Structure 1
């Protein structure tokens, strides 16, 4: 806890100059004991020890059940559910879905990003359950923090690629044939990974661990040096979320609006199939918006609030939103991979093979099915709803 005379240590309520709050961390003030005046100064001057003070609000949050019980419990559930689903999706895309199409390549990379994201969760789970006390070292904190953001925003970029690919397939089925190639999809995925890794490099170059003597814990990215907050973090995170979420979100929104419009206007196919395709498009977009929009909107409003009032309460909402948004790793396999009839058939074929059916016969049957569907697509390029489910 803070000393009772905390007005000398925390200027948050009294001077905006010292109020440095980012999307993630609470600020702390680097105060040297013995920096005061009078006999207190003479008494404390020989100590010359750095002591870090945080706000009462920050201290209460770091020790609350919300931070030490609720958030890690949600992460545990996400880890348990997401890992097997994404592993199964990876297996299907690598071994069962052939020939590789652009949609499959995008989804394969999305499954990789989601899987890498959840494989980092045990570090955060242990950190939160341990009272927000990081015990793995400063270097590991940098790596986990950077990788956490990298995989999360790489998922956003890949979902945008999937939206653009489906938009081209549905709205411009003929003109986009030359663009929607496996090579183009592979280059796009490589570019998304490159952008995501490059975007988090500044996080690898800065310190994220801070030891709080009052709470007897070492935080990881929850408390940052006020000088860092006053520096590039003030500009880094707004620019980062704008480039890696808001711009992709605009593209994704436009793509799915046009997809739904094209599906509703299509004059071919049964009404049941058309309704299913429209529902699938609306569901995919809703999941994307619900999982990622709150986190990034809070992130941006946090900086607006910081610039005006210096309030740091939105950080609590940001952490909760990030935690809830991680559920997307469980939902993505359901709406992107296993939601399509093709993947469902592949899963049935896989389990039939495991139960004793001839593997070669199953692959031949699956190949015949894909070949017949490809021929149907070539003969009826106006069948847009099938392209959405590809």
Structure 2
């Protein structure tokens, strides 16, 4: 995403051979193996939930497909770090890999928000929101999120020269320093709209959910424990996978605006390794997503057991998630 970088810019940060590349490569290999295995393992049961007109299943399916598309680009990043930050596959592949990387990150963030808001409405306003919380509503919401996120990143990709999307002189992919002013501004928007706003929505949703569940006398302790697990699990994904990356991204962008050239380059030199680690850490959300949302979902767990056993009941009720159980309990109490 860099435009017309002069030769002095290329020496702002020196990236040399080091064990750091092997460490980053190890994170991506782990994320690739576990992420692909978990997402493929749970894809069938999730599709079964969608066929059962399960609203949560629609969100999970879109989340899983987004993760799989990103995971398929991971071998490119593994090769990049294996060659000590040298991209030998051309600028087009660098741009495509970057597009799927960042699109997946914000698709995951906003789909997690959709799931959280849907669960919050199901728990706090079960009767009022039952009419429009339909399978069609879930598909439309997912479509809006996908179009918005991919259009934003596609516009950035289209506006940029693909040849400048990575540093052809040193064969880097999205690692040219210093960052151009438009990129610094775009980064600030990503932090605000792509992370802080969803984080605020998540915090409010799970605050309401936990408060409602705590007040309910009709729920067993096991159900309450699973609801708390879901709430803290989602916030944990944000804290571990997304927060460090966006915190350093914000710091780097502000440093660009408020530091002089020499101090800024020194700062970027120091931040390069931590920032690369947080970027790699964000890839682990593709591993955690299916574990969190599928393994605590009664309906999907049961579908997985039935698939493994090779038989299926013709008629049975499916609880889409633990919080869906909460919604049904509240409905019956009215």
TM-score normalised per structure 1:
0.75
Unaligned runs of 5+ in 1: 1-23, 32-50, 385-390
Give the 5 Å matches for 1:151-170: 151-170=104-123
Task: Please point out which of 165, 173, 179 is paired with 2:126.
Answer: 173
Question: How much does 1:62 deviate?
Answer: 4.1
Task: Please point out which of 190, 193, 197 is paired with 1:247.
Answer: 197
- Secondary structure of 1:131's counterpart equals coil
- Secondary structure of 1:175's counterpart equals helix
Task: Please point out which of 73, 76, 82 is paired with 1:123.
Answer: 76
Q: Quick one: higher RCO (CA 8 Å, sep 6+), 1 or 2?
A: 2
Cross-structure match for 1:340: 297
CA contact (8 A) 2:10 2:176 kept: no
Give the 5 Å matches for 1:128-207: 128-200=81-153, 201-206=155-160, 207=164
Task: Please point out which of 236, 261, 271 is paired with 1:314.
Answer: 271
Cross-structure match for 2:330: 381
Cross-structure match for 1:92: 45
CA contact (8 A) 1:63 1:131 kept: yes
Aligned residues: 318
* In 2, Cα distance between equivalents of 1:238 and 1:211: 26
Alignment root-mean-square deviation, CA: 2.6
CA contact (8 A) 1:143 1:204 kept: no
- 2:6 is the alignment partner of 1:30: yes
- 2:316 is the alignment partner of 1:368: yes
Cross-structure match for 2:307: 350
Task: Please point out which of 226, 229, 236 is paired with 2:180.
Answer: 229
Q: Which has the larger radius of gyration?
A: 1
CA contact (8 A) 2:241 2:284 kept: yes
Cross-structure match for 1:63: 17
Unaligned runs of 5+ in 2: none
* In 2, Cα distance between equivalents of 1:370 and 1:113: 25
- Secondary structure of 1:79's counterpart equals helix
Question: How much does 1:210 deviate?
Answer: 1.4
CA contact (8 A) 1:28 1:223 kept: no
Which is strand-richer, 1 or 2?
A: 1
Which is helix-richer, 1 or 2?
A: 2
Larger mean Cα displacement after TM superposition, 144-153 or 282-291: 282-291
Question: How much does 1:97 deviate?
Answer: 5.3
* In 2, Cα distance between equivalents of 1:185 and 1:369: 20
Compared with structure 1, are the counterparts of its residues 205 and 64 closer, same or farther at alpha carbon in structure 2 (3 Å cutoff)? farther
Compared with structure 1, are the counterparts of its residues 269 and 121 closer, same or farther at alpha carbon in structure 2 (3 Å cutoff)? same
Compared with structure 1, are the counterparts of its residues 254 and 315 closer, same or farther at alpha carbon in structure 2 (3 Å cutoff)? farther
- Secondary structure of 1:267's counterpart equals coil
Cross-structure match for 2:165: 208
Question: How much does 1:335 deviate?
Answer: 0.8
- 2:235 is the alignment partner of 1:281: no
* In 2, Cα distance between equivalents of 1:370 and 1:196: 32
Question: How much does 1:383 deviate?
Answer: 7.0
* In 2, Cα distance between equivalents of 1:173 and 1:88: 32
CA contact (8 A) 2:219 2:326 kept: no
TM-score normalised per structure 2:
0.87
